[in-house]
Amino acid sequence: MSTDKIVSDLQKINPSAVIELFTLTLDNSLHGASTTYRFHAGTSLKDNGEIIWNGQAYTRFPVQAEGFQYGKGQLPRPTITFSNAFGTLSSILLQVNELTTGNDLTGATVERIRTQAKFLDAANFPQQKTSVTTLTPDPNDAETVTFPVTVVNVGGVNIFAINGFHNPVLTMKRASTYIFDQSDSSNTGHPLAIKSDAGGAQGTTVVGVAGNAGATVTYQPAYPSAPNDLRYYCTVHGNAMGNTITMNDPATTSSTAFTNTIQVNPFGTPDPTAEFKREIYIIDRKSAENRTIVSFELAAVFDMAGVRAPKRQCTRKEFPSIGLIVG
């Protein structure tokens, strides 16, 4: 139970943000059932008025509790008053008293739970839709480019010539199509391919054999996954015959789709351990009942007989040996 977390937060926010919850638990041996009723008297964002705390639903019910303050030398004996407008409490009392005449819920346990709105379960708050935005290449921006390829010897070294330029840096666009035409006989023995320096060979479509009529290598860089570190090269003679490829993204269109709904606490992070120390009381007696209200007087578990704390003070006048260390 994280009391420190509650206390530190009370220094930052208004105490009115404290949420007060109650449980009323019957004892099977006294009341014929072990039912637990959960309720609160505050406000709720849920249509049914419930507050969800630690996965349990607390019903909105008119209730007033007071007298929890500690007095000098006396444990608190709070009173709790329920609305009886619909006869709910009278009905419970009637059932209990059929088992034990005049019991009036004496011995039932009342728990007082206090936390803050920021720690409540996310289920207390309205659902929010989540969305996913997808970018799709604009088909109007796609291109199909054919590169005539020849092999030339420069200074005793064979290199690819693209569109007549000696092993130039190529610029490509993802989601487009690029066709390397290797039908010129100079390409014989120099099959062209595409690879990533980090990821290895890229998927291409090869038709025919380099240096023969109709021989082509087609590359379609995927959007958005085609890597940036691409190059064209000769599978026989290596990188020196080719050069790098600069990769760009095409123009895109966006579409937004709403997916599943989620619930979140907009005030903070749900934490079922962030609460004040729970206060546990026993119903000592019914103090009032009429058509509008039913009231009970509560007592601490170990104070059912109204014992003062401490029951008796021991002084050195009466007990001279108090505080002496006996060797």
pLDDT digits 0-9 by tens, 198-236: 988 898 999 999 999 999 999 999 999 999 999 999 999
Number of structural domains (the chain) is: 2
Residue 319 within a domain:
no
Residue 322 within a domain:
no
pLDDT at 312: 46
Domain match, 185 and 246 both: yes
Residue 131 within a domain:
no
Domain match, 244 and 296 both: no
Domain match, 112 and 152 both: no
Domain match, 218 and 145 both: yes
Domain match, 89 and 184 both: no
pLDDT digits 0-9 by tens, 48-85: 889 999 999 999 998 998 988 776 667 788 999 999 98
Domain match, 214 and 179 both: yes
Domain match, 207 and 244 both: yes
- Residue at 111: amino acid letter: E
Ranking 15-24, 51-60, 209-218, 248-257 by mean pLDDT, the lowest is 15-24
Q: Which residue has the higher pLDDT, 265 or 296?
A: 296
Domain match, 160 and 180 both: yes
Strand partners, 149: 162
Domain match, 173 and 281 both: no
Domain match, 149 and 204 both: yes
In this prediction, what percent of the chain has a pLDDT beyond 90? Answer: 55
Residue 132 within a domain:
no
b/e 272-304 (16+ beta carbons within 10 angstroms → b): eebbbeebebbbbebeebeeebbbbbbbbeebe
Domain match, 204 and 120 both: no
Model-level pTM greater than 0.95?
A: no
Residue 85 within a domain:
yes
Residue 324 within a domain:
no
**In terms of residue numbers, what domain contains 166?**
137-253
